[in-house]
Chains A and B, each alone.
Chain A
């Protein structure tokens, strides 16, 4: 049971070594699905509280970094009575092995879910090679 409890909780991101944060707030690791399609790689991340203006995506060499800034909506004049989740930004980086067509990366956010579509470069797309009988 202890293991399953862990899974449903937000995980705080480990601080990136040698990089100091300028904002003093919690940073969480978003849960992601990474789906490989024939012509693209799709990264889907749960980032509740983030909208399209708060997402920052960078692809440097083969490292894809996503950062989601949360502008917390706190009920005015209310006291926090019970807290079972923390509020903060989201950050995560991935190493992408395939060649990506950088100019065609697309990202969208809907209901707190970020979806990044990384189209594979033509060269990297799997080609089927027919073997001719000799």
Chain B
């Protein structure tokens, strides 16, 4: 065998993104042990990617955009926020109360280092879109092979 396989995160021949799912599950398990509602599982995230960046989307309706806290460190991305319960005055009562309220925190690890300065976030119609570009140094580069002159 000429190439090393099965070693390291990218060496297994699997998509580097496969690791994301595993990491997420692990992290959720860790976090959910300490908080209720299980903070690792809420909010649900979808991750979209190209070779150069990832876009993380999450549904957090009714949150003030200013209060959403996003932190990036290395390859991990964390979003935090909270939503208060609907205030109830005297003579008012709930018939149904299904909507979540409280604090949430979600951390996901991407298979690459994030260029922290270029992270962009947008909140529209209750959905948060975060663009996480891959660190410049890690982007795939094309190497030109020079032909030797005869």
Contact = CB atoms under 8 A, between A and B. Distances in A.
A127 B64 CA distance: 38
B36 interface: yes
A113 B45 contact: no
A73 B129 contact: yes
B111 to A, nearest CB: 9
Contacts, number: 131
Contact of A113 (B50, B88, B96, B126): B126
B95 A49 contact: no
Chain B interface size, as a band, is 35 or more
A50 B43 CA distance: 17
Contact of B37 (A7, A31, A82): A7
B98 A81 contact: no
A33 B98 contact: yes
Interface in B53-107: 54-55, 57-65, 86, 88-89, 91-100
B129 to A, nearest CB: 7
Nearest to B41: A8
A55 to B, nearest CB: 11
B11 interface: no
Contacts of B42: 8
A47 interface: yes
Interface in A27-46: 31-38, 41, 44, 46
Nearest to A114: B61
A85 B62 contact: no
Chain A interface size, as a band, is 35 or more
B44 interface: yes
Given A8-B37, A49-B127, A110 B47 contact: no
Interface in B21-51: 21, 24, 32, 36-38, 41-50
A111 B78 CA distance: 21
A32 B49 CA distance: 33
8 contacts: A8-B44, A36-B95, A46-B99, A78-B49, A81-B54, A82-B24, A112-B126, A113-B61
Interface of A: 1, 4-5, 7-10, 31-38, 41, 44, 46-51, 73-75, 77-85, 110-113
Interface of B: 17, 20-21, 24, 32, 36-38, 41-50, 54-55, 57-65, 86, 88-89, 91-100, 123-127, 129
